[in-house]
Chain A
Amino acid sequence: MNFDALFQPLCFLTAALLVVIGLYAVIFMDNLLKKIIGVTLISDGVNLVLITSGFNKIVAIISPDMFEDGVTSATFEGLQEFPEFATQAAFPLPSALVLTSIVISVSIFAIMLALAIRLYQHYGSMSCSTIFKEVEE
């Protein structure tokens, strides 16, 4: 069994699971902390999709001019001139993007946790049905 061939589909599957679990937590769970964790799970799942697409060695930067000549990312063979480089290197752009995305997610996570702490101090509960039950005038 070729594990390498399965690696990418398994990563996508894991990412999908993370997103689904995150959405479930955000929509259905009553605990505020679990909702916040759900948001981060969704974000992690999306980051995994990005990083996995970078693992695909045949995905490479192509230019619109090359695209006009019928070259797509799946058929791009420019890197085959450098076989050793092509077999070892991953597409670097998603790694840079994921790094930025993680920083943003952490910032949002920190603010959400700070707000959750404030609300817990006020209501003495993390239950959304308690915190958000007040009918606003």
Chain B
Amino acid sequence: MNVEDLFVPALLVAFPLIAAICLNFIHGRDRAVKGFAILCIIIVLLLPWITQYGVYLFGGHPYVDNLEGTNIMLSKLNLAIVYNYGVIQKLFIALMALLASAAIVIHFLEKTSGVYAAMIMLGIASASAVIMADDVFNIFVFLEILTISQAALVIAVGSVRAYKTALKYLILGGVAGSSILLGIAILLGKYGMLNVSDLHRVISLEAETGISQALIVACALIFLGWLFESGMVPFHIIKSDVYSKARPSVAAFMQTQTKFILVALWVIILRLFYGIPTFHALVLGVAILSMVFGVIMALKQTEFTRLLAYVAVAQAGLVGVGLGIATRASVSASIFHAINDAMAMAILFLSASVVLQITNTMNMRKTGGLLWKTGLVPLWSMLGIFAVSGMPPFNTYQSEFRIIYAASEAGYPELTVLIILTSIATFVALMKGFYSLYLKEGQNYLKEEEMAKATYSERAEYLMIVLLAICIGVGFFPQSVLQHVQEFVISLGVI
């Protein structure tokens, strides 16, 4: 047996889960938690790169016709939990692992908590499972775990406001989760199977004679769950609330999870319900609303993390727009944009993390005058703003340009205008934040003597530089990523 055969996709889920359980057990022992968390995060960073590509049947069950030696009939179903692992899944999981490492390492010297690190690990495991899984119930289970881990990371802040946000998130998450489960129950009752590939084949055959009402109801219920998980309208407020109440470095990780879950769940929904005529229009509608509401809300915010949270929602809306147009070019551009924007937004959230360490507030009425107090962080922040706004030579320029071009080609010229306006409004909102943090006259706290001694985590700055380098690198060589995205979209076989 070869050593590389051991690195199966299931390990990407199993290892963080086991790590989370172990971290819970050693909670309270500071040195042990630190050492073990660092070890885990190194392994989590390495795993996506050494895991073998392919389809993995969790439990190793192959297709079977009959159970030998018995009269029990088993049909040719994917009876095991199936994970698909390709280049796109690798990119998603590797990027998530990178930002998860930031969430752990940046706050590592401040306060050590086994539970906090465990929730980060749980977040990686659940998001990885949703990205790879080909089974609707498995996806439901890990979406619920993801909701719990995100709520727990908000609770970790320890303020009453964070508790309120976490409770609201859990209540809505409970309703959205039940909605997904009801959709799955309808699919199971009607078709007797849960595997997405099997369901896709069966539903495609059925669609030739017409779409059943049960399928439409199942689609509507699962679609509601997708809206919640991806932070689309009407769940954009709670999602931005969660981002803004969490620590900024954790928010960077969370917004990455959300964007990748948005894409992964949409792919599942598309494969199941692509025959429903209004499906694409519905996706496009909510995506446009999310994009517009997100950027309008960002413009009126007075708290920097909340501003970033709404920009993240608007950018998720932009990803949704490309998915809603549903041509090969637009979907490729959208998935490309999800990867690019996750990196660009992370730069800004990390800059917010640095500012928060110095000012202890994100209220833009109270901040200011940090331009010469935070080394080169303002420069990286400004470059991050350019990246999020889709300016050349950054990677988001490449993806936004392609979304606009695809929208124009697909016969939505008015949409191209809207996307350009959104980009301009995003830039204005972010510049307002930049001015309030760095350029505005210094406020009272800057006059205190302690201010001169104020320090911030240089680890956050290093990570910003790494992300900026990747953004610029991908901006110059977009085909290095886009080529794999295009192959992935073609492999879906429904666009």
Chain A residues near B (Cβ < 8 Å): 19, 23, 26, 32, 35-36, 39-40, 42-43, 45-47, 49-50, 53, 56, 59-68, 73, 76, 78-79, 81-82, 91, 93-94, 97, 100-101, 104-105, 107-108, 111-112, 115-116, 118-119, 122, 131-132, 136-137
Contacts and interface: CB of A to CB of B under 8 A. Distances in A.
B174 A115 contact: no
Interface in B185-223: 185, 188-194, 198, 201-202, 205
Interface of B: 71, 73-77, 137, 140-141, 144-145, 147-148, 151-152, 155, 160-161, 163-164, 166-167, 170-171, 173-175, 177-178, 181-182, 184-185, 188-194, 198, 201-202, 205, 302-303, 363
Nearest to B221: A46
A119 B181 contact: no
B144 A104 contact: yes
A46 B182 contact: yes
Residue from A32, A56, A59, A108 with most neighbouring chain B CB atoms (10 Å):
A108
A68 to B, nearest CB: 6
A77 to B, nearest CB: 11
Contacts of A56: 189
Contact of A107 (B71, B148, B182): B148
B171 A39 contact: yes
Q: Is the interface of B mostly helix, strand, loop or mixed?
A: helix
A36 B171 contact: yes
B205 A67 contact: yes
24 contacts: A43-B174, A43-B178, A45-B178, A46-B182, A46-B185, A50-B185, A53-B188, A61-B74, A61-B192, A62-B191, A64-B193, A64-B198, A67-B202, A73-B190, A93-B194, A94-B188, A104-B141, A108-B148, A108-B173, A112-B167, A112-B171, A115-B167, A119-B164, A132-B164
B421 to A, nearest CB: 28
A42 B151 CA distance: 20
B170 A63 contact: no
Contacts of B141: 100, 104
A68 B205 contact: yes
Nearest to A97: B137
Nearest to B244: A136
Contacts of B164: 119, 131-132
A100 B137 CA distance: 10
Q: Is the interface of A mostly helix, strand, loop or mixed?
A: helix
B175 A39 contact: yes
Contacts of A116: 167
- The 3 A-B pairs at the shortest CB distance, nearest first, are namely A63-B75, A53-B189, A39-B174
Contacts of A43: 174, 177-178, 181
A42 B171 CA distance: 11
A63 B76 contact: yes
B155 A115 contact: yes
A50 to B, nearest CB: 4
Given A100-B141, A108-B174, 6 more contacts: A39-B171, A49-B185, A50-B181, A60-B192, A62-B192, A115-B163
Nearest to A59: B192
Contacts of A68: 205
B301 to A, nearest CB: 10
A42 B198 CA distance: 29
A11 B479 CA distance: 55
Nearest to A101: B181
B375 to A, nearest CB: 29
A137 B303 contact: yes
A73 B192 contact: yes
Contacts of B189: 49, 53, 56, 59, 73
Contacts of A108: 144, 147-148, 170, 173-174, 177
A108 B173 CA distance: 9
Contacts of B185: 46, 49-50, 53, 94
Contact of B148 (A53, A66, A79, A111): A111
